[in-house]
Amino acid sequence: MTPPLPLVEVPWRRLSPRMLLIHPVREVIRFIPALLGVFLAGRSSGQGHWWSLAGLAVVLVVSVMRWVSTRFQITEDQISLRTGLVRRRTIAAPADRVRTVDVTEHPLHRVLGLAKVSIGTGTSDRKREGLVLDGLPTAEARALRVELLHRGQPAARPGQPHPPATGIPAATNHAGVDEVELLKLDPSWVRFAPFTLSGVVTAVAVAGFAWNILNQAQVNAGQLGPVQSASRYLRDTPLWLLVVQLGIGVLLIITVLSIVGYLLAFWGFRLSRHPGGTLQITRGLITTRATSIEDRRLRGASLSEPILLRAVGGARMTAIATGLRVGRGSERGGTVLAPPAPKRRIQQVAAQVLHGPDMARVVSGELRQHGRNARRRRLIRAVAPCSVIALAFAALWWWAEWSGWLALASLVLLAVSAVLGLDRYRSLGHALHGDYLVTRYGSLDRRRAMIDTDGIIGWNLRETIFQRRLGLISVAATTAAGRQSYGLTDLEPDEAIRVARAATPGLLDPFLVVAEPVSRRPFLARSPRASSSSR
């Protein structure tokens, strides 16, 4: 009888020593405000340079100790990360819980041939802790991504077998595995960048950063030469000409910043499907990012149409998947399945990503519109606040002799709010196509969410006092993926219950009662708010 082989303990490993060239730079940039404050405090005593050197030395020591105290271990069954010197912390997760692998290469990483690997295991997106290996050689990081997600052939999702060949040419990734390319960035799509308003966010961020630096340095912006010249020009220029020039200048700045941001974020964008059962998303110009999503973790997709992007026929798409973070600034980028692009092309890609039966109806089919009471409520919610503002300005103009321009502006605002209210109503819609629940909502940012009913784990039904007066109810499907709740707003109770029962047969039945003998319409046993969950 052959004796069993002894168990070999997998050693703990450190990150690449090349991270010692990245950590100090990163920490110095992070602590620039603090170092500047130390320098200014020391300058009052005539020892500013010594104080600065002392503060810089402390930052460098902290950055070096971060590398020394970080180790990781990857076995067949578990992934572990150990950090901290004074306060030791160990994070461990089973290997079969890995749901996404995100490989990011920042500029300094790329120069040194390194990458950061973020391993998603389904942790809540509101928690900052996670399995992040910041400083692996690029080849090792890419190989680790393939190993973690493709250790075994994942089972196909119920009712959704892997699609047959589509005629799309296959490409070979860094690991030498053939992939089916679903989408590749077209340079002409940059025309959609100015309509995303990302330039506005960038301009505000740059202005805030500059203002913070001036405050930390105790510099009076009004005494700067360019600021004084601009002030004199503003005083000497007619108002109408100034408004025109400022409007054109702001539009140009926003357009340029939007285009630059689009190219930085989506340059080289590529969406492909790995034969092992994962979606691969690669993008980025200066900072490259490669995200892998297990196909069996994908619970749907969301098409977003901000109002300006919608006006030029554009849209973008994000994933609804378990283990992916949403709504946290840069972390939201991990869910991007398609950049701002022509809506028709986005719909084609959505059908390929979801690869279920009758996908054309799911991604672009007509939806069931909500009733007249829903339109009435959308208008009331949009117009009522603006009506109060208009009445207040009218009263101030009549009795306090305020400027009449404010009253006229409030009337314009009232008209705009009415138009937005009607648009919000036209955006409302829902449908149940095969295994997918489709819901559409929003005006300034219209969204069409397509959720696999297999991923729905419960329902939340809400009925406010205003909805009760109009005979309406809101129902939200809860899921462990994406935003975790996708609602159908202002439905009639019969329709809300019909949709919920059709999407998840049997789930709501224990919560329904039948009123006798006046009506046989089913009602929720608990109101005005009721919920159910299962699975």
pLDDT digits (tens, 9 = 90+) for 375-425: 999 999 999 988 888 888 888 888 877 877 888 888 888 999 999 999 999
Task: Map tokens 């909805």 to a residue.
Answer: 467
Q: Which residue has the higher pLDDT, 512 or 210?
A: 512
Q: Report the distance separating Cα 446 and Cα 444, nearest Å.
A: 6
Mean pLDDT calculated for residue range 260-282? 89
Tell which residue, 179, 186, 150, 149, has the closest CA to residue 165: 179
**Contact between 13 and 70 (Cβ < 8 Å):** no
Judged by average pLDDT, the poorest of 198-207, 359-368, 377-386 is 198-207
Q: Which residue has the higher pLDDT, 400 or 206?
A: 400
Q: Work out the pLDDT band at 52, boundaries 50, 70, 90.
A: low
* pLDDT computed for residue 8 by the predictor: 54
* pLDDT computed for residue 532 by the predictor: 54
- Residue-wise over 469-479: b if at least 16 C-beta within 10 A, else e? ebebbbbbbbb
Q: Report the distance separating Cα 307 and Cα 427, nearest Å.
A: 11
Mean pLDDT calculated for residue range 505-514? 75
**Contact between 50 and 57 (Cβ < 8 Å):** no
Asked whether the predicted pLDDT for residue 328 surpasses 70, the reply is: no
Mean pLDDT calculated for residue range 360-367? 90
Alpha helices (runs of H) in 225-342, residue ranges in sequence order: 225-236, 239-266, 307-311
* pLDDT computed for residue 296 by the predictor: 82
Q: Work out the pLDDT band at 515, boundaries 50, 70, 90.
A: very low
Q: Work out the pLDDT band at 326, boundaries 50, 70, 90.
A: low
Asked whether the predicted pLDDT for residue 519 surpasses 70, the reply is: no
Tallying the residues shown for the chain, one arrives at 535
Mean pLDDT calculated for residue range 442-446? 90
Q: Which residue has the higher pLDDT, 154 or 275?
A: 275
* pLDDT computed for residue 35 by the predictor: 64
Q: Report the distance separating Cα 342 and Cα 189, nearest Å.
A: 8
* pLDDT computed for residue 100 by the predictor: 78
**Contact between 207 and 257 (Cβ < 8 Å):** no
**Contact between 180 and 168 (Cβ < 8 Å):** yes
Task: Map tokens 């989506």 to a residue.
Answer: 266
Judged by average pLDDT, the poorest of 347-356, 365-374, 504-513 is 504-513
93-131: pLDDT as tens digits: 888 778 778 888 888 888 889 999 988 776 544 444 568
- Residue 273's DSSP bridge partners are 180, 279
pTM metric for this prediction: 0.77
Mean pLDDT across the chain, nearest whole number?
A: 79
Q: Which residue has the higher pLDDT, 534 or 322?
A: 322
CB atoms closer than 10 angstroms to residue 110? 15
Mean pLDDT calculated for residue range 179-194? 92
Mean pLDDT calculated for residue range 167-177? 46
Asked whether the predicted pLDDT for residue 60 surpasses 70, the reply is: yes
| Highest mean pLDDT: which range of 73-87, 217-231, 289-303 | 289-303
Sheet bearing 131-137, strands edge to edge: 131-137, 114-120, 100-105, 288-294, 278-283, 270-274, 178-184, 170-172
**Contact between 300 and 292 (Cβ < 8 Å):** no
Q: Report the distance separating Cα 111 and Cα 509, nearest Å.
A: 60
Mean pLDDT calculated for residue range 210-235? 65
Task: For the chain, give every domain's residue range.
Answer: 11-68, 190-265
Tell which residue, 316, 328, 330, has the closest CA to residue 185: 316
Q: Work out the pLDDT band at 491, boundaries 50, 70, 90.
A: very high
What angle do helix axes 23-30 and 32-43 make, rounded to 10 degrees? 60
What percentage of the chain has pLDDT greater than the value 70? 75
Asked whether the predicted pLDDT for residue 511 surpasses 90, the reply is: no
DSSP annotation of 274: E
Identify each DSSP E strand in 53-151 by its residue range.
Answer: 71-74, 78-83, 89-94, 100-105, 114-120, 131-137
Asked whether the predicted pLDDT for residue 140 surpasses 50, the reply is: yes
CB atoms closer than 10 angstroms to residue 309? 23
Q: Report the distance separating Cα 371 and Cα 441, nearest Å.
A: 14
**Contact between 512 and 520 (Cβ < 8 Å):** no
Mean pLDDT calculated for residue range 473-492? 90
C-alpha dihedral over 493, 499, 505, 506, to 10 degrees? -10
Instruction: Extract the tokens encoding 87.
Output: 């306060």
CA dihedral (51, 53, 54, 58) positive or negative: positive
Asked whether the predicted pLDDT for residue 518 surpasses 50, the reply is: no
* pLDDT computed for residue 2 by the predictor: 53
Judged by average pLDDT, the poorest of 66-75, 137-146, 519-528 is 519-528
| Highest mean pLDDT: which range of 8-22, 28-42, 139-153, 277-291 | 277-291
**Contact between 530 and 505 (Cβ < 8 Å):** no
- Residue 483: strand, helix, or coil: coil
- Residue 302: strand, helix, or coil: strand
End-to-end CA separation in angstroms for the chain: 47
Mean pLDDT calculated for residue range 431-451? 92
* pLDDT computed for residue 480 by the predictor: 86
